[in-house]
Amino acid sequence: MFSNRFRTLFVATLLAATTQVEAQFAQAPLPYATDALVPSIDKMTMEIHYGKHHKAYVDNLNKALAGKPEEKMSPDELMGKITKETAPAVRNNGGGHWNHTFFWSIMGPAKGGAPKGALAEAIAKDFGSLDEFKKKFKEASTGRFGSGWAWLIVKDKKLMVTSTPNQDNPLMPVADVQGAPVLGLDVWEHAYYLNYQNKRPDYVDAFWNVVNWDKAAEHYAAAMK
Ligand SMILES: [Fe+2]
Residue 24 banded pLDDT, cuts 50, 70, 90: confident
Distance 139 CA to ligand 1 centre (A): 19
Q: Give 70: exposed, middle or buried? Use CB within 10 Å, 0-12, 13-18, 19+.
A: middle
Quote the radius of gyration of the chain (alpha carbons, Å).
Answer: 19
Residue 23 banded pLDDT, cuts 50, 70, 90: low
Confidence at residue 22, expressed as pLDDT on a 0 to 100 scale: 53
Distance 214 CA to ligand 1 centre (A): 22
Whether this prediction's pTM lies above 0.95 is answered by: no
Distance 4 CA to ligand 1 centre (A): 44
Ligand 1 (ion): which residues have CB within 5 A?
186, 188, 191
Q: How many CB atoms lie within 10 A of CB 17?
A: 10
28 vs 60: CA distance, rounded Å = 16
Q: For the chain, give the mean pLDDT.
A: 92
Distance 41 CA to ligand 1 centre (A): 12
Q: What number is the average pLDDT over the span 25-32?
A: 97
Opening angle at CA 191, ends 26 and 51, nearest 5: 35
Distance 56 CA to ligand 1 centre (A): 11
